[in-house]
Amino acid sequence: MIAAQSDRLPWHHADWDRLIVCYRLARVPHAIAVAGSAGLGKSAFACRFARALLCLSPLPDGDGCGRCRGCALEAAGSHPDHYIVQPEKDAGGPIKIDQIRQLIDFLMRSSQYGGFRVALVDPADRMTVSAANSLLKTLEEPPAAAVLLLVASALSQLPATLRSRCRRVQLKPPAAGLARDWLATHYPDAIDLLALAGGMPLRAIAYAQAGVGERYTALVADLVAIAHNRQSPVLAAQSWTGIGLRAWIELLQLALAGLARVAVTDCDADRIPSGAQLHMLSQAIDCSHLHDYIEQVTAIRRAADQPLNEQLAIEDLLIGWRTAVRGARAQTMG
């Protein structure tokens, strides 16, 4: 996930204020799970709270002052009472038990600066089962003045016993108007991608930065051309070589989600990118064939972590798309 433009995101206010009240009452939870969909700024929220806890003289709204020794060390990434655990190799990799054992050692030590020790696990849903279980004992008997922040899009993947020992902060998507206003100030190019991003402002920015909008439009055009026999799946697949199978399937899933939405409610067509084309496509395929095809795509997405031939897999999926449309047409004619 991209860094937030500002970590004071307006849709965090209510959750932020509740945590700051705990802080003022000296009732900061020992473990906090920051949950919510990707693109809401969960990491930004957790980091902001970590800064607040490490600051020696927080501002009236609870934020770190940005000037004290605690804030300076935190900003430099060298605060001895701050510990961050992330996947070792790549963002999609696991967080292993050895990493969590080191984290537990950190939590058990005494504070170097006499304040809180703050540990962040991000993303916590990348912990292996044994890593997550190894945290349990620590949370059952939490060390004093230590705060563990777990950031997770898929909180349900953590063991229930672990979840039940955390205070949950569930970030919710902002209202559409608020999201658009915020993007207008921070990243106007991403406004048109907000619907595609499911209303998640930071995801819309990530899409804009990665050129997802243009690719999405091109893919919908391919799906239309294939459905109307104006393009062969094999030739269409060639034009997508090099994008990466996972990225391409995510794009296809976005297009299919849009198609499913338009198929169910006509009125949404003008609210999502390429809505008119999707509306046209929704006339070419019925819900049952669309559903089966979406299942097929989901299954291949699951296998996309295995080494598959990218070109062949894209070809297969586009041929599958043509088959689904033809199947729907044959059924209508029959």
Binding stretches for Zn ion (CB under 5 A): 55, 64-65, 68, 71
Measure the CA–CA gap between 86 and 319, rounded to whole angstroms: 39
- Using the 8-state DSSP alphabet, how is residue 95 labeled? B
Structure tokens at 274: 């390429």
Q: What share of the chain is helix, strand, coil (3-state, %, to 5)?
A: 60, 10, 35
Nearest distance in Å: CB 67, Zn ion: 6
Nearer to Zn ion, 69 or 101 (CB): 69
How far does the chain reach from its first CA to its final CA, in angstroms?
48
CA 299 to chain centre: 20
Instruction: Supply the minimum distance, in Å, between the C-beta of residue 76 and Zn ion.
Output: 13
CB of 57 to Zn ion, least distance (A): 6
> CA 139 to CA 100: how far, in whole Å?
13
Least separation in angstroms between residue 53's CB and Zn ion is 10
To Zn ion, the closest distance from the beta carbon of 63 in angstroms equals 9
Nearer to Zn ion, 57 or 332 (CB): 57
Closer residue to Zn ion, CB minimum distance, 70 or 199 = 70
- Closer residue to Zn ion, CB minimum distance, 118 or 166: 118
Do the beta carbons of residue 278 and residue 258 sit within 8 Å? yes
CB of 31 to Zn ion, least distance (A): 23
The number of beta carbons lying within 10 Å of the beta carbon of residue 300 is 18
Measured between alpha carbons, how far is residue 46 from residues 152, 277, 285 in Å?
Answer: 11, 40, 44
Instruction: Find out whether 74 and 51 touch, Cβ atoms under 8 Å.
Output: yes
Complex with Zn ion: residue 38 or 68, whichever CB lies closer: 68
CB nearer to Zn ion: give 64 or 273: 64
**Of the two residues 65 and 139, which places its CB atom closer to Zn ion in the complex?**
65
| Minimum distance of Zn ion from residue 27's CB (angstroms) | 21
Work out the number of other CB atoms within 10 angstroms of the CB of residue 244: 12
The string of DSSP letters for 103-168 reads HHHHHHSPPSSSS-EEEEETTGGGB-HHHHHHHHHHHHSPPTTEEEEEEES-GGGS-HHHHTTSEE
Residue 7 CB, shortest distance to Zn ion, in Å, is: 14
Smallest CA-to-CA distance from 182 within 3, 11, 2 is with: 11
Q: Which is nearer to Zn ion, 112 or 241 (CB)?
A: 112
